[in-house]
Every structure is written in C-alpha cells, then in structure tokens.
Amino acid sequence: AQRVTQPEKLLSVFKGAPVELKCNYSYSGSPELFWYVQYSRQRLQLLLRHISRESIKGFTADLNKGETSFHLKKPFAQEEDSAMYYCALRMAAGNKLTFGGGTRVLVKP
Amino acid sequence: NAGVTQTPKFRVLKTGQSMTLLCAQDMNHEYMYWYRQDPGMGLRLIHYSVGEGTTAKGEVPDGYNVSRLKKQNFLLGLESAAPSQTSVYFCASSQSNNYEQYFGPGTRLTVT
C-alpha cells in the first residue's frame, strides 16, 4: 500500500536560514508527488508538484526515485513561510491523494 | 466564484446523534472528496466521487456515508456519531483526473 512519511512534526528556524522539509514515500506505481501548504486560518492549497519542476515562493522540491524522497527546500526562510506543510502522493485512479502527517514550520524573527 | 464551501463551520454532537455535512462547489468539477484531518496523521480520505450519482470508499470510510445527487454537492453523513469522529473535515474538488484538488475551509466537529 502507498504511504507518505514526514518525519519532522515541527521545524523551527530563524528568518534567513535555510529550511528543508523531508518527505519519503512508498508506492508500487509511478509516483506523482505534491506539496500542499496551510497558512493560519486559510484553507489547504497546492504549493508545488514535482511534474512542474518549478519554484514557488522560493521553494523547490526534487523527486528522487532512488531514495523515494521528495524533500522541500528553501534557501532563505521568511516569517510568512510559517505554516503547516503536507507532502502528498497521487494515485491515478480517482485522482486520490495520500497525505503525510504534516510538518509545522515556524520561522522566528 | 466561491470555490469550495462547507456547511457548517463548527458543530458539537453528542454520542449517537446524526448529522450531515454539506460541501458545495461552483467550478463545475467532476470529482469531489471528503477528508478528515487529525493531529499527526495528516488528511485521510473518507469517501470520494468521480461524478454525479457515483461514490466510492476511501481509506477510512467506516461510520460515514455519502451522496452525490447533484454535481455541485457532496454530502457526508454520520448516522451515529462517536467520539472517535471528532476531527476537522475537509472537502475538496477537482476538474477530473490528473487535476489539482481545491479544498474547502473545513468543518470542526466535536463529538462528546
């Protein structure tokens, strides 16, 4: 069965420091990975998807099939990056998502 | 264009009571989903629908029922609420397969 693991429940960094959120997955098919973000009092929204290979709000994520990982990185964290981040794996049938447990990022001034 | 809306925003139930959560979307999306969010467990799929009149079970369907009588609405029912169903419930929709899911604001349900 598919599984998404985010080992860190909380990441606390200072403004301007790099931040990396870890995501590992297990899936027998061809994986499609996403990062979703939930800011305080806002709804869950898509941050980026691996297939686009783009940088959104300074964040990037590379799919490493050998290590079955999709870590999210930003070289210089900003206070507005404080939020809950979820890694998700898409299954083709039904467009269903399997989410990791989430990582709360706190960027301190 | 309101996107995905959920009714109600908050609800407190006693064990054994029933209720229905309503999800509505105005984007003419084919697919709709119900998730529950619990601390440390992320979001887990309860039920989903790939079109009007169709529903399917997700990862944690027990204790819930759903209906999709109209394309724009997806209802989640709890027939006999239990404290284990205390959670935040999120609805989402997507245009079809291989498209981004758009989420509603959530419903916080407490069962005492």
Residue A94, pLDDT > 90, answer no
Q: How much is the pLDDT for B39?
A: 83
User: How many helices (H) does chain B have, and how many strands (E)?
Assistant: 0, 11
Residue B27, pLDDT > 90, answer yes
Taking only the tens place, the pLDDT of each residue in B49-89 is 999 999 999 999 999 999 999 999 999 999 999 999 999 99
A39 contacts A104 by C-beta, under 8 angstroms = no
Residue A96: band (very low, low, confident or very high) from pLDDT cuts 50, 70, 90 = confident
Please check whether residue A55 touches B, CB under 8 A: no
Test B31 with A45 for CB contact under 8 angstroms: no
d(CA B105, CA B48): 17
Taking only the tens place, the pLDDT of each residue in B78-110 is 999 999 999 999 999 999 877 889 999 999 999
Cα separations (Å) of B105 from A33, A44, A64, A90, B14?
A: 23, 8, 32, 21, 23
Please check whether residue B38 touches A, CB under 8 A: no
B25-44 mean pLDDT: 93
Q: How much is the pLDDT for B96?
A: 83
Q: How many CB pairs under 8 A join A and B?
A: 54
Residue A104, pLDDT > 90, answer yes
Q: How much is the pLDDT for A1?
A: 78
Taking only the tens place, the pLDDT of each residue in A15-28 is 999 999 999 999 88
Average pLDDT for chain A: 92
Higher-pLDDT residue of B75, B41: B75
DSSP 3-state of A95: helix
Q: How much is the pLDDT for B2?
A: 80
Please check whether residue B74 touches A, CB under 8 A: no
Residue A55: band (very low, low, confident or very high) from pLDDT cuts 50, 70, 90 = confident
Residue A81, pLDDT > 80, answer yes
